[in-house]
Amino acid sequence: MALLVKKIKGTEDILPRQSYKWQFIEKVMSEEAKVYGFKEIRTPVFEQTELFRRGVGEGTDVVQKEMYTFETKGGESLTLRPEGTAGAARALLEHNLINDGLPIKAYYFTTCYRYEKPQAGRQREFHQFGLEVYGAQDALSDAELICAANSIFERLQLRNIRLEINSIGCPECRKNYHKALKEYFEGHKDTLCGTCLTRLEKNPMRILDCKSPVCKEIAANAPKILDFLCDDCKEHFDKVQKYLTAAEIPFTVNPSIVRGLDYYTNTVFEFIADGIGAQSTVCGGGRYNGLIEELGGNPLPSLGFAIGLERLLMVMDAQNIEISSPESPALYIAALGDAAQVKAFSMAKTLREAGLEAQFDIVGRGLKAQMKYADKIGSKFTLVLGDNEIAENKAKLKNMSTSEQKDISLGEDFMQEFFAALIESETNPALSL
């Protein structure tokens, strides 16, 4: 029979046989965030549309083409978050987190939503991990943020991943740069794509980020932002490079990096992985000193990055980086009869309270089917319970790896004897699963 309902285009199910990989990278990320002094923030999946119009930028592709926006029954315009920073910044202002002392350092795991053509590494619902820093102006905070991302990639053992950095200056730097860009691209109006013709009037820097091969070729010879930096911005960027060099983090200066969202200023950076096709940027970030002011707060220097989890897993798969499978169940109890089921239920509860995964039959299988199921789920040990075993208060404990069996008490000594068998199987290479 055909399915009545299927998943929506541009979304993916994370199945139980896959979720342990997500849990592993999320554990690594949260641990690294904590050692750098970050604490978790969680924000709503939808916000007032105005937040993203102001925070992300009215002229961006995200706002103009990609947002999931809807009107509530009360006539309010809401939008599913297309990225994580704007919501975190709104929460900072709304809850006066500045009073907690600066800098504010927060991390998040979040789902984001953008209506765009689904492809490998780019879905309409996607997942991000991000770090946010508020109230730190010094170039040292830029370098520390980049170092945190690099630490995550090192722990995950990623190879062939490169860091590219740039500075897009402050608003004053960009006035002259925008003028020079506009003059340059005006000479190529006949060949620019339709989207870039619009960008030419609103924000010519965004033409540098166009994916059209024709626009890319034109942009290659455009003026470089680094030639238009004011003294303060140049000094800031020089310091970032000095700190990264001191931390022995290799980098390349790429004047073409501009980022796709309007709130970025000064330092911008990307970590790029080779070998996964067009969607090769696994981490993007930088500084956005004007964001808080744009949302109605007092000027506050800010910076952050986001890592796409789908792309990160693609890179790890492409590089054959193995993530250990979840721990197998310690014990499967095969029970025959009502009394045995009660005993199995009680024993499993005791094992679980000790932190061990224990399972027993809850679907009415026969003994043979139960043993097949225990083997399928990779249980380390099995125990068969029936009337005789309960009467004698002992049963056969079977090591599923070696098929070795031994008698084990079902009374007060059960936990002690089972732990001994478990430890022996894990420390003896011949018995280890």
| pLDDT, tens only, 146-189 | 999 999 999 999 999 999 999 999 989 888 888 998 999 998 88
Q: Which two tokens stand for residue 1?
A: 């029979």
Apex 374 CA angle, 370 and 375, nearest 5: 120
Q: Which two tokens stand for residue 168?
A: 């897009």
Task: Compute the distance between CA of residue 311 and CA of residue 126 in angstroms, rounded to an integer.
Answer: 10
Domain boundary among 294, 318, 342: 318
Instruction: Kindly give the confidence (pLDDT) of every residue in the chain, 433 residues in length, as a single tens digit, with 9 standing for 90 and above.
Output: 788 899 999 999 999 999 999 999 999 999 999 999 999 999 999 999 999 999 888 777 788 889 999 999 999 999 999 999 999 999 999 999 999 999 999 999 999 999 988 887 789 999 999 999 999 999 999 999 999 999 999 999 999 999 999 999 998 988 888 899 899 999 888 889 988 888 888 788 888 878 788 998 998 899 999 999 999 999 999 999 999 999 999 999 999 888 766 678 999 999 999 766 666 899 999 999 999 999 999 999 999 999 999 999 999 999 999 998 888 999 999 999 999 999 999 999 999 999 999 999 999 999 999 999 999 999 999 999 999 999 999 999 999 999 999 999 999 999 999 999 999 887 543 323 2
Domain boundary among 287, 318, 349: 318
Domain boundary among 263, 292, 318: 318
Does residue 391 sit within a domain? yes
Assess whether 160 and 247 both reside in one domain: yes
**How many CA within 13 A on the CB side of residue 214?**
11
Q: Report in angstroms the alpha-carbon separations of 404 from 390, 425, 433.
A: 21, 11, 13
Assess whether 267 and 347 both reside in one domain: no
Does residue 207 sit within a domain? no
Report how many domains make up the chain. Answer: 2
Whichever domain contains 366, its CATH number is 3.40.50.800
pLDDT for the residue numbered 55: 86
Assess whether 303 and 375 both reside in one domain: no
pLDDT for the residue numbered 210: 82
Assess whether 234 and 120 both reside in one domain: yes
Q: 407, 383 in Cβ contact below 8 A? A: no
Whichever domain contains 291, its CATH number is 3.30.930.10
Assess whether 387 and 313 both reside in one domain: no
Task: Compute the distance between CA of residue 42 and CA of residue 58 in angstroms, rounded to an integer.
Answer: 25
Assess whether 235 and 128 both reside in one domain: yes
Could you tell me where the beta strands, DSSP code E, fall in 139-280?
Answer: 161-167, 252-253, 265-273
Assess whether 111 and 151 both reside in one domain: yes
Assess whether 313 and 335 both reside in one domain: no
Assess whether 135 and 72 both reside in one domain: yes
Does residue 1 sit within a domain? no
Torsion of CA 360, 361, 362, 368, to 10 degrees: 170
Assess whether 152 and 235 both reside in one domain: yes
Assess whether 58 and 123 both reside in one domain: yes
Assess whether 248 and 270 both reside in one domain: yes
Domain that holds residue 73: 16-170+230-318
Does residue 198 sit within a domain? no
